[in-house]
Structure 1
Amino acid sequence: MSISSSSTQEQESLTQVLTYHNQTKHSFTNYARGLDWDNQPSPFRRYISAPLRPLLHPPNSDDSPIYNSLFSYLPPPKPISNTTLFSLLLQFPCIIRLEINRIFYLAAQTHYAPKEHALEIRAQIPSQFFPNFFPNGSFLIGLSSIFWREAWKYGERGFRYCNHDLGHAIAAVTMAAAGMGWDVKVLDGLGHDELKRIMGFEVYPEFKIPSRTVKGKFEEIEFEHPDCLLLVFPNGVDGFDVNYKDLSLAISQFSSLDWKGEPNSLSKEHVCWDVIYRTSEAVKKPLTLEKKFVIDSFEKSATCSEDSYDHLTLRELVRKRRSEVDMDGVTSIERNTFYQILLRCLPSGFQEKQKRQLGLPCRALDWDSEVHCVLFVHRVVGLPKGLYFLVRNEENFDDLKKGMRLDFKWEKPEGCPPELPLYELARIDCMKLSKHLSCHQDIASDGCFSLGMVARVEPTMRDKGVWMYPRLFWETGVVGQVLYLEAHAVGISATGIGCFFDDPVHEVLGLTGSNFQSLYHFTVGGPVVDKRKMSLPAYPGMHNMLGLSHLY
């Protein structure tokens, strides 16, 4: 392909993505198209007739580390086994629109079946594949999306939600792995074709995108879109490199593997939002041989209020994690607790300047941070109500300040740790404002604080590639997962908010154009306890339930 034709294609892809992003914005007068509740898909993807390998229960004793200790150091790595994989998989939530799958373990490519808590063996892989490219004690986890699982409910905005979920999953895997003494890194030099091949998705028929939104029976719409491949490896392993050229060549041999199992059908009828599939085509990442695989040394996070935490183990905390439906509108938190939560949201850990993603769980990502947070503070004792801004990449500070309202203060709040790049913009009661911006939802005003995640969008795509668009949503999901864990760790709760009015958020900040865009909202506060909910042990009586005890 010539340079000029390549540039033309890149511009067309950029135009498609910006069209999608603007078309799927909510406004005060118009919501993005969607909300079709008639065709809810099955929550579980299975591969019929693929051999099923159950996973062992971990010991009854909780030997996982204290949650907040992981931000200071990682424990010695545990060996990979059936039991440690069980613990890993139970410590990140099952997101039904996302396939937490393609676990490469014991020289096999497997699909995780969460309902059965077992691995479906899709194919045997060459025995020398791992030794040739990765250190001892490592394995791969592939993540994929079925767009239909979001689109049935959220319509054309579903592509955004899939990538939010992807970020949550990356962070959840990274934290669960950290509890085992394992590190995690996205193998982001690989392209879409390599991911499709290694995950066994070449068996799907090619989906022909219609020219408009249509309703009917489209079995091929239930295909899995390969999102990313995570390398899980022992913490502290000596430096190693990944040769993407040789790795791509080895993956090309996966086309000839003997793939087992046929994907089950999820819905009887579908609505095809063509704009989702055109955009997913536009953001397909090519193989990038020049991308270096860099393992940065672990960077601890800053601490200003260790006493804020309940000192739960990682396993205890993860099992408490919930998305609340209502906040009580009463609960408040101390100022230092608020600062402590935000310190954990920083990408670089305890560094003088925030930019490179070195701390947990951001370190799984391989690009400099592009996501910032505008905060609506409601009930933080010792901190005035108002609008605040957390700068997560301080190289963007000047552009943010110039692009936002001239009357914003940009002052460090009282008692703010020097390593926390948090700024007070305006002292106002923003309860009604935050509610209206989040689609009139009370939950945004009834917490201790809420926030919107603002990303550097168009410049990032121009500088690095249009394929960065979904990755910006991944980064917001990573930050969101931190907020979930931190909220529960200090005794309150949190909820992600995908419904918000995009451009009105920008107007409040004074932002124009598409340089910075709001991609995700969140709220943190005291939950209203729903007595209808019940927590039960995970997979009770698994041996008998599966009828597979003879395989252990």
Structure 2
Amino acid sequence: MLLLRHHPASLHRRVRLHCLAMSSAASVSSPPDSSAAADYHCRTKHSLTAGYARGPGRLDWATQPNPFLRFSPPSLIPLSNPPPVGAGIPYPSLFHSPPPPPQPLTVDSLSALLFHSLALSAWKSAGVSTWSLRVNPSSGNLHPSETHLLFEDPREPGRLVVCHYAPLDHLLEVRSAAPHCDFSALLPPPATAVLALSSIFWRESWKYGERALRYCNHDVGHALATVAVAAAALGWDVRLLDGLSHEDLGCLVGADKGAPSSPEGLPEKMARGRAPWVERQHPDCALLLFPAGSEPKVDYGAISAALRGFDGLQWVGKANALSKDHVVWDVIYRTAEAVKKHGPAPGESFSVSPWQRSAALSDRLYKELTVQEVVRRRRSAVDMDGVHVMGRETFYQILLHCLPSGDVSPEERQGPQSALPFRVLPWDAEVHAALFVHRVSGLPKGLYFLVRNEEHFDTLRRAMRQAFEWERPEGCPDGLPLYRLMKGDCQQLAMQISCFQDIASHGCFSLGMIARFDPVLCEKGEWMYPRLFWETGVLGQVLYLEAHAVGISATGIGCYFDDAVHEVLGLKDLEFQSLYHFTVGAPVLDKRIMSLPAYPGPGIDA
């Protein structure tokens, strides 16, 4: 049943009827028996009729996890305060020009990298409550992601150190050190450092229950993008070392060093009670940092062998306890085990895509802000005014920055990820965007679709409603694969499928990120499941930065009725799935909340 073609006077009534009709969609998707990833994904869908995915029901504030992991007693590397935030390069030039000359790797440059990617951005205070914000966004501001660095010790050249980043105090905790040796296998020239990310699932599951694994991987994607952007501002490139196994990554971050002991077997059911092991880190991924324009010769076998030797190193520090009590959501840990990657895929090798700039309509569409200002001013809007109208050129410019291949020639198609920050990912784009356009001047309200990998175009058209228009909107740039599917006011629909949240309808536009799903898991393996969410997080971070760079805001939406979204688009199976929602518009600021500086000292912003 199509709804947006009807006369506006009857539209809202028909939207409501359509959403009621969609309530049967919860049973549309059923997982194949052999796929743990698909089973988890279907199990954790929100449904209009069957209800929400299993969660705690209420927040137990007494057991809220500490958002800051520390190791005691630590050996510390203090990080200097970076230059004032106003210093830096103009935001558009980072995407529209070649990268600046690379800076050498020093304590100061590492400090700048972390300060503009994974550090605190401000403290907020309202009444008796005070909480911190970070440069990298997180679902519910819970921050399951932890950061680790491997680099040559600036205090003792020739020795490698493994450090944990402590954002609360903006410093590095030295966990271990490798003896003086040839470390070219771990840091193949001209690479300068490895940055690894891990997740503590308990921080998210405390609030979100079984669906938390999705949100942890959203956060990994956001963190990947923040590191890629901050590194590019220093003249560095970053690329996933995606041929490393889960065991290799565990050795790199010292997952079992100074951490609570693991259970002998995976849990078979949900349980409440003291379970310190749920505070352990789950290794996610590692990034190689190197000067832009170069291509290190990576040997995954040599890196893996070197990392396995880390088990014999002396590791310093015991992790602080994060909660006094816990809830074990068994399906999270069983699924995380099932989707581990155990080494390079057949034929997989490390390569670096040629640097590709993003297409530009006009730099005048952006505010006069530096990259550093934009990344540290980023906030998640909690409400939008429902009034602000975005210019059509601004809308197109934002979407141009969402293209993975950047500004390609007419003979090329979008797919390979070579534009910033998508170039951090080694696979071709698998995620598209279904857009609900509410308030964009010169553009009819309605449902639109951004095809981010044009190899999927024919498959998408076959999978979606046959009555969709697939028309290029007026004034759309030639290199932007954007299509109008149908006209009509879809504000109420956008709100209803996003768990009835008004913020999805009060912005200028909202969207659902649609990933090629079952074919990817079948073609490559279940280890791609978290990576699909990483890609949505990278795309979401671009939307955050673009919104703030043009003077408005954005918010990621993790709560939506999965199969209701699919029903709107006409998707009937697991070939494509919605993995993340977003909304962009003018924020409503709460004047009761006071902003405080992230760190004490001169020249540090709030």
Query: Structure 1 residues 226, 497: CA separation in 2 closer, same or farther (over 3 Å shift)?
Result: same
Partner SS for 1:511: coil
| Post-superposition offset of 1:408 | 0.1
For residues 251-400 of structure 1, the aligned pairs below 5 Å read 251-288=307-344, 290-351=347-408, 352-400=412-460
Contact 2:380–2:553 under 8 Å retained in 1: yes
Residue of structure 2 in register with 1:40 after alignment: 64
| Post-superposition offset of 1:393 | 0.6
1:82 paired to 2:104: no
* Partner deviation per Cα, 1:370-391 (whole Å, 9 max, x = no partner): 0000000000000000000000
Larger deviation, residues 59-68 vs 43-52: 59-68
Residue of structure 2 in register with 1:110 after alignment: 163
Contact 1:386–1:427 under 8 Å retained in 2: yes
Q: 2:230 aligns with which of 173, 176, 179?
A: 176
Contact 1:202–1:255 under 8 Å retained in 2: no
Aligned residues: 532
* Partner deviation per Cα, 1:156-198 (whole Å, 9 max, x = no partner): 0000000000000000000011110110000000010100111
Larger deviation, residues 30-39 vs 439-448: 30-39
Residue of structure 2 in register with 1:121 after alignment: 174
For residues 381-530 of structure 1, the aligned pairs below 5 Å read 381-530=441-590
| Post-superposition offset of 1:320 | 1.2
Read off the aligned partner of 1:115 and give its amino acid letter. L
Read off the aligned partner of 1:225 and give its amino acid letter. H
Contact 1:434–1:445 under 8 Å retained in 2: yes
CA distance in 2 between partners of 1:536 and 1:230 (Å): 32
CA distance in 2 between partners of 1:127 and 1:134 (Å): 16
Larger deviation, residues 474-483 vs 96-105: 96-105
CA distance in 1 between partners of 2:452 and 2:485 (Å): 16
CA distance in 2 between partners of 1:163 and 1:191 (Å): 17
Q: 1:165 aligns with which of 219, 229, 252?
A: 219
**Structure 1 runs not aligned, ≥5 long:** 1-10, 543-552
CA distance in 1 between partners of 2:388 and 2:34 (Å): 44
Residue of structure 2 in register with 1:69 after alignment: 93
Read off the aligned partner of 2:147 and give its amino acid letter. N
**Structure 2 runs not aligned, ≥5 long:** 1-30, 118-134, 154-159
CA distance in 1 between partners of 2:406 and 2:239 (Å): 16
CA distance in 1 between partners of 2:512 and 2:204 (Å): 21
Contact 1:64–1:180 under 8 Å retained in 2: no
CA distance in 2 between partners of 1:83 and 1:236 (Å): 22
Partner SS for 2:595: coil
Contact 1:195–1:226 under 8 Å retained in 2: yes
* Partner deviation per Cα, 1:510-545 (whole Å, 9 max, x = no partner): 001101000000000010011133333331149xxx
Contact 1:300–1:359 under 8 Å retained in 2: yes
CA distance in 1 between partners of 2:351 and 2:191 (Å): 18
Contact 2:198–2:283 under 8 Å retained in 1: yes
Residue of structure 2 in register with 1:136 after alignment: 190
| Post-superposition offset of 1:14 | 4.7
CA distance in 2 between partners of 1:232 and 1:532 (Å): 41
Larger deviation, residues 318-327 vs 287-296: 287-296
CA distance in 1 between partners of 2:148 and 2:33 (Å): 29
CA distance in 1 between partners of 2:180 and 2:467 (Å): 63
Partner SS for 1:87: helix
1:247 paired to 2:303: yes
| Post-superposition offset of 1:305 | 3.0
Partner SS for 1:513: coil
* Partner deviation per Cα, 1:27-74 (whole Å, 9 max, x = no partner): 112111114410211111111112122101123474321111011221
Read off the aligned partner of 2:375 and give its amino acid letter. V
CA distance in 1 between partners of 2:383 and 2:182 (Å): 49
CA distance in 1 between partners of 2:443 and 2:368 (Å): 25
For residues 523-542 of structure 1, the aligned pairs below 5 Å read 523-541=583-601
CA distance in 2 between partners of 1:359 and 1:541 (Å): 36
CA distance in 2 between partners of 1:358 and 1:23 (Å): 34
Residue of structure 2 in register with 1:3 after alignment: none
Contact 1:13–1:283 under 8 Å retained in 2: no
CA distance in 1 between partners of 2:190 and 2:86 (Å): 26
Partner SS for 1:123: strand
Contact 1:194–1:251 under 8 Å retained in 2: yes
1:91 paired to 2:116: yes
Q: 1:211 aligns with which of 265, 268, 273?
A: 268
| Post-superposition offset of 1:209 | 2.3
Partner SS for 1:143: strand
Contact 2:82–2:115 under 8 Å retained in 1: no
Read off the aligned partner of 2:216 and give its amino acid letter. C
Query: Structure 1 residues 126, 463: CA separation in 2 closer, same or farther (over 3 Å shift)?
Result: farther
* Partner deviation per Cα, 1:90-119 (whole Å, 9 max, x = no partner): 112255433342111222000001111111
CA distance in 2 between partners of 1:60 and 1:511 (Å): 49
CA distance in 2 between partners of 1:13 and 1:541 (Å): 57
Partner SS for 1:528: coil
Contact 2:32–2:39 under 8 Å retained in 1: no
CA distance in 2 between partners of 1:304 and 1:385 (Å): 22
TM-score scaled by length of structure 1? 0.94
Partner SS for 2:592: coil
Larger deviation, residues 402-411 vs 49-58: 49-58
Contact 1:383–1:414 under 8 Å retained in 2: yes
